[in-house]
Each structure stands twice: as structure tokens, then as C-alpha cells.
Structure 1
């Protein structure tokens, strides 16, 4: 029987901006519509995807230069 282990997701620094217009983002999972105020995240491989502001605020914190 396999023993279940616990893992923590590695901290990753991403780039993101908040959109001021409705736009269609071509993601790895297909086209997604971003609404005004959604964050557009650029992933590790250059892929982009939208994220709702409330989820973004719970998941990410600003990295100071």
C-alpha cells in the first residue's frame, strides 16, 4: 500500500496586471473571458490566464523590489 505524504506548493513569483477592459485570454485550457478588474497572470512558461480579484488577493502578495 502506498503511504500518503503531505506536500507544500513551492513559492513562485509571477507577473500580473489588472485589466481595465473585457478581453479574451487564450489559455492552455482554452479561451477564457477576463472581466474588468480581473488579474491577468503570466505563468512560468509564459502562459496567461485570468484570475478574479478576490482569489488573487487570497493567493498572492506583492513582492517588493
Structure 2
């Protein structure tokens, strides 16, 4: 049997280590707290609590808020293959 993924609208913000993006992730998506790790100062990562444990997003990854309010990171190439902008 074959199956097709149902169309689902999600909210997402592409992670960048700048104040405007971090505000969008916090206020726009609702990820609170926004926890950026600077353990490697040249490669900041966003730590995201998920049902599977803490996942990390690198600069350029998309932070997705799922239909049930869950958050998870997605690599840009996978995001662009899977999602398209929704016209309102």
C-alpha cells in the first residue's frame, strides 16, 4: 500500500544568532526559553527540548512549531523539499 503525507501548515523561523531572530523564535513561535549555547563561540547552537530529548539547531536550520505545539529543528535542504510558503 502507498500513503501520502497529509498537507499540514506549520510555523517556522530560520535560526540565526541575532537578536531579531531570537525574538521571532521566542515571541513568534513561542519557544520559551530560547537557549543558545556558545560552548563553541564560532558555532552557536540552539538547544530545543523535544519529546525525544534535547535537540540542537545550527545556524541556518529551521525551527519548526508542529501542529501540536511541539518544537524541533530541520535542516534547510529538507525544509525546502518538504514545505512551501502559504499565501494568506
Q: CA RMSD in A?
A: 0.9
Matches within 5 A, 1:1-65: 5-21=1-17, 22-65=45-88
* Number of matched pairs: 61
Higher helix share: 2
- In structure 2, runs of 5+ residues without a counterpart are 18-44
The C-alpha deviation readout for 1:9-57, integer Å capped at 9, x for no partner, is: 1100000000113210001111011000100000111000000001100
Instruction: Report runs of 4+ in structure 1 exceeding 3 Å deviation.
Output: none
TM-score w.r.t. the length of structure 1 is 0.87
Task: From the CA coordinates, give the structure whose radius of gyration is larger.
Answer: 1
